[in-house]
Copies of this chain bind each other. A is one copy, B any other.
């Protein structure tokens, strides 16, 4: 047997059911004018032939593929795995498909976008990856909406959904201050990523407001990975020229985990006694026994909803929404990496729900 076997077409089904081809098309289209008994006869014939409508062919006329592209920049961060999962479930529930691209961290997504365009996707979701403004306008010109997830591109009119990263950074700073921290350190991620920048900025801003000197805030770049954060953390404590910090802000959970593991295993530090740690994301891994991270929860579900509302895949004729920026408030989840100050004690809750 050879591949490329004849697959039944709507004509085959039509012939078997004793109707014309358009009737088959209508039988598979909800709310179309067709007699119920005719539809049943067609569906019966289709079943016999194992007929499945060819979406590729129908896309050609409808100009809708029901495919949405998801461009992922950093699968090593579990946060984006959860984002993928959330979008996947949501899309499948709506009968849409997800075309997934992975882009090496640091690389731009322009090439991925070109592939995307070939497939006439209905929309593009971009997470944790760079993209040129030229590509954005090409997408827009072709009528393809694009949403930046947790990221924005200065100088472009692309819409985006994100957590209020600066605000979240401030929350961590505040928690540290309330817990009595005096000297601070911060492990940042991708310097080109606005997410990391904003969190760091909010964090520093809040500390400066409180009269902390900039020189008392150590900043190290951690390559946006568990391993990068581990070595960054060690470098902080090996630098004899600076005072040891008593609070460490990991720019996201996975990096905080890397830092904690390194500091515990290599330097024997105890968290939060020797060093308090705060981070960002609240991935499910953050609540595991060895970490119990006090962290800012990103409300993934709401961010997904906002993303879909901007894409408005159901109303393709509406104009593309441009320049939208929907920052969504994060929420501090108190666990065990920052001692809970008395004033916050009642807040120490770790239930679910965003």
B99 contacts A98, C-beta separation under 8 Å: yes
Distance, CA A95 to CA B143, complexed state (A): 24
Q: A88-B101, A92-B101, A289-B262 are in contact. Are A119 and B318 (CB under 8 A)?
A: no
A89 CB-CB contact with B under 8 Å: yes
A251 to B114, CA, bound (A): 42
Q: Does A271 contact B (CB under 8 A)?
A: no
A285 to chain B, nearest CB (A): 8
Contacts A289-B265, A290-B290 given: A119-B5 contact, CB under 8 Å?
no
A250 to chain B, nearest CB (A): 15
A63 at the binding interface (Cβ < 8 Å): yes
Q: With an 8 A cutoff between CB atoms, is A310 at the interface?
A: no
CB distance from A288 to the nearest CB of B (A): 6
Residues of B close to A289: CB separation below 8 A: 261-262, 264-266
User: Can you name the residue of chain B whose Cβ is closest to the Cβ of A2?
Assistant: B319
Q: Taking the complex as formed, is A345 at the interface, i.e. its CB lies under 8 A from any CB of chain B? A: no
- In the complex formed, the residue of B with least CB distance to A50 is B138
Q: Which of A53-61, A179-187, A199-207, A236-244 contacts B (4 or more CB under 8 A)?
A: A53-61
Smallest CB gap from A137: residue in B: B50
- Count identical subunits in the complex: 2
From B52, B75, B138, A85 is in contact (CB under 8 Å) with B75
Complex CA–CA separation, A101 to B5 (angstroms): 25
User: Quick one: CB contact mask for A84-118 with B, threshold 8 Å, 1 for yes?
Assistant: 11001100100101111110000000001011011
Tell me which residues across on chain B come within 8 A of A2, comparing CB atoms.
Answer: 143, 317-319
Closest approach, in angstroms, between the C-beta of A63 and any C-beta of chain B?
6
Q: A97-B119, A290-B290 are in contact. Are A63 and B316 (CB under 8 A)?
A: no
- Indicate if A188 sits at the interface (CB-CB under 8 A): no
- Complex CA gap A98/B95 in Å reads 17
In addition to A5-B141, A226-B288, A262-B289, 12 A-B residue pairs with Cβ atoms within 8 Å of each other are A2-B317, A3-B143, A4-B317, A52-B117, A56-B59, A56-B60, A85-B102, A92-B102, A95-B115, A97-B119, A99-B99, A265-B289
What are the nearest 4 A-B pairs in CB distance? A3-B143, A265-B289, A261-B289, A55-B118
